[in-house]
């Protein structure tokens, strides 16, 4: 399975502009270009929490797909928002556990200036 192309064909992630940029050996990276319509604030460009969550979920799934070579539906995801996501966002994900039924992935999301804006842990179905 071509992991990067697989994630380019997800309509919702595509609508938001999520791009998976690197995928290999249980690690993935991705980015999202911030646009006015993705902001929760009309006066300042700050990513809505759902945008940050979708970036984390998509990149987390990509990290796991790199190991199991099949789609991995999300079972659960927990996210802590640490700062407002301003400017373009970038996510880095690493697989913590890849089991026959469930996989666990940690994801960090960063703002354009390098500030960490969110910390997430996703659980995905692998079998």
Q: Chain-centre distance of CA 102, in angstroms?
A: 18
Q: In sequence order, what DSSP letters do the residues of 3-27 get, joined into one string?
A: HHHHHHT-HHHHHHTEEEEEEETTE
**Domains, in order of start, for the chain:** 3-125 (3.10.129.10)
66, burial (CB in 10 Å: exposed 0-12, middle 13-18, buried 19+): buried
Residue 51 makes CB contacts below 8 A (sequence gap 6+) with: 16, 32, 38, 85, 89
| Rounded mean pLDDT, 5-28 | 84
What are 41-65's pLDDT values in tens digits? Answer: 777 778 887 899 999 999 999 999 9
Quick one: what percent of the chain has pLDDT higher than 90? 69
């Amino acid at each position: 399975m071509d992991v990067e192309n697989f994630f380019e064909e997800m309509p919702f992630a595509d609508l938001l502009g999520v791009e998976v940029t690197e995928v290999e050996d249980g690690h993935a990276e991705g980015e999202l270009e911030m646009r006015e319509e993705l902001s929760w604030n009309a006066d300042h460009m700050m990513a809505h929490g759902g945008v940050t969550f979708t970036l984390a979920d998509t990149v987390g799934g990509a990290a796991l797909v790199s190991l199991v070579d099949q789609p991995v539906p999300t079972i659960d995801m927990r996210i802590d928002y640490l700062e407002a996501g301003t400017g373009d966002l970038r996510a880095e994900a690493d697989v913590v556990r890849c089991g026959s039924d469930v996989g666990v992935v940690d994801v960090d999301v960063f703002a354009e200036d390098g500030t960490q804006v969110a910390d997430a842990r996703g659980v995905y179905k692998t079998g």
